[in-house]
């Protein structure tokens, strides 16, 4: 119970930290709304030419756009979550202090990132999504059970997202710099998560591959559950499986990295 309270406090701290950046949050809301408008009209034109693309009608395509803008910062799809701080601490050697703490390193950073994600969802994600639902026809469910299942997929998506970024951050133990890794994380996050185009709309072959990768658990799976295009239990199993695998690999990599820590500078 004591450990649970500790990690809850870390999550609350992560929430409060990002809540203090009010101007940045307001700018993020404005940016996500503007980009949402651009993408919506692009999608509407595309779906006008290709009705039923990816198995979606226009209302579902619009819903997908605004959900993407809602989850963009929430899941740090382009990076910029806990991994950014972790990379810097590894680069400067401050990670040595973290390793002396009587806590689990991976769970500590996960808790902080969940707190960050919770704030980004409420502070930056909800407003663009509500804006979209007011001004555009969206395929939103009326059943509470669907919304509850969707909430579960969001939590699992946050864990998968963290696990991917945690692996990227740990690579700095060997690379000594996270700039290149951050760029790769940004490109893969945007493309493979479906931020540009729903993974369902990818060409056959490529689409079959990207839909089974862990990035699909971030946006595509929650979107399909919300719009009734996927069985919730199957979605939970897919996301949970990737979360367990990626966290386990992260723990193994963490063990290898910290077995013999080389702090930059000596």
pTM of the model: 0.93
Tens digit of each residue's pLDDT (9 = 90 or more) over 49-78: 999 999 999 999 999 999 999 999 999 998
- Report the alpha-carbon distance of residue 51 to residue 57 in Å, rounded: 7
Cα-based torsion angle of the residue sequence 202, 179, 83, 239 in order, rounded to the nearest 10 degrees:
20
CB 240 within 8 A of CB 158: no
Judged by average pLDDT, the poorest of 26-35, 80-89, 120-129 is 80-89
pLDDT of residue 106: 94
User: pLDDT band at 140, cuts 50/70/90?
Assistant: very high
pLDDT tens digits, one per residue of 156-172: 999 999 999 999 999 99
CA distance 112 to 8: 9
CB 44 within 8 A of CB 203: no
Q: Is the pLDDT of residue 138 over 60?
A: yes
Q: Cβ–Cβ contacts within 10 Å for residue 180, how many?
A: 11
């Amino acid at each position: 119970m004591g450990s649970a309270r500790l990690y809850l406090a870390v999550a609350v701290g992560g929430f409060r930290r990002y809540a203090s950046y009010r101007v940045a949050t307001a700018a993020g809301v404005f940016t996500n709304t503007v980009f949402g408008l651009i993408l919506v009209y692009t999608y509407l034109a595309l779906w006008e030419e290709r009705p039923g693309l990816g198995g979606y009608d226009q209302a579902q395509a619009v819903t997908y756009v605004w959900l993407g803008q809602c989850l963009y910062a929430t899941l740090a799809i382009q990076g910029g979550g806990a991994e950014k701080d972790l990379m810097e601490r590894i680069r400067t050697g401050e990670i040595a202090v973290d390793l002396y703490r009587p806590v689990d390193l991976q769970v500590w950073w996960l808790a902080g990132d969940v707190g960050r994600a919770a704030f980004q969802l409420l502070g930056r994600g909800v407003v663009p999504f509500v804006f979209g639902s007011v001004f555009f026809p969206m395929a939103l469910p009326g059943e509470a059970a669907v919304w509850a299942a969707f909430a579960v997929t969001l939590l699992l998506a946050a864990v998968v997202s963290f696990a991917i970024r945690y692996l990227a951050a740990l690579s700095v133990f060997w690379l000594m710099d996270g700039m290149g890794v951050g760029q790769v994380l940004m490109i893969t996050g945007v493309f493979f998560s479906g931020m540009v185009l729903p993974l369902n709309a990818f060409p056959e072959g490529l689409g079959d591959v990207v839909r089974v990768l862990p990035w699909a658990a971030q946006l595509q799976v929650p979107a399909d559950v919300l719009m009734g295009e996927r069985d919730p239990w199957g979605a939970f199993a897919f996301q949970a499986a990737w979360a367990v695998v990626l966290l386990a690999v992260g723990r193994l990599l963490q063990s290898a990295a910290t077995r013999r820590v080389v702090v930059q500078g000596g």
